[in-house]
Amino acid sequence: MLELLLVAALGISLAHWTWVALTPRGVAASALGSQLDAQRAAPVAKRNLFGAAQVGKAAPAVVDASPTSRIKLLGIISRGVPGSGRATFALEAGKPRTVEAGSQIVPGLELKEVHADHVLVARGGSIERMKLDRRGAAGN
């Protein structure tokens, strides 16, 4: 009986540590999400439920940046505060440039937010997510 109890305890322990090891890491939420929360909290009368134009600006949808873009994300310096920090980009000419959140990378392309594994950039009124390619960095 004791042997059966010990085998069951070992199985439960192994299941727990497997679960802990295989659970994906959480990603910090975007500051743009707070705009959506504020919009959802608006009174029902102000939501314009039947398709009328919104008075305030709606938060733009975040899409992944095109993989064929000539500007590549090389590195991230995050300050621990979601949205702030710096990022290093390889520009069209191949020259790297480090930019702080809120600044322009090139004319027409602004770095909005910096996160641990991606950045959000604004291009022509839309928000794009550029992911950091860790596989390319591991080979160096």
Strand 104-106: give its sheet, edge to edge: 62-64, 126-131, 118-123, 109-114, 104-106
Question: Is residue 80 pLDDT above 50, yes or no?
Answer: yes
Strand 96-100: give its sheet, edge to edge: 72-78, 85-90, 96-100
Q: How far apart are CA 129 and CA 115, in angstroms?
A: 10
Query: Among residues of the chain, what percentage have pLDDT more than 70?
Result: 62
Question: Is residue 25 pLDDT above 50, yes or no?
Answer: yes
pLDDT of the residue at 10: 97
**CATH T-level topology, domain 61-138:** SH3 type barrels. (2.30.30)
What pLDDT, in 10s, does the model give residues 28-70? 556 555 655 665 555 544 555 555 545 555 555 666 666 667 7
- Domain ranges in the chain are 61-138
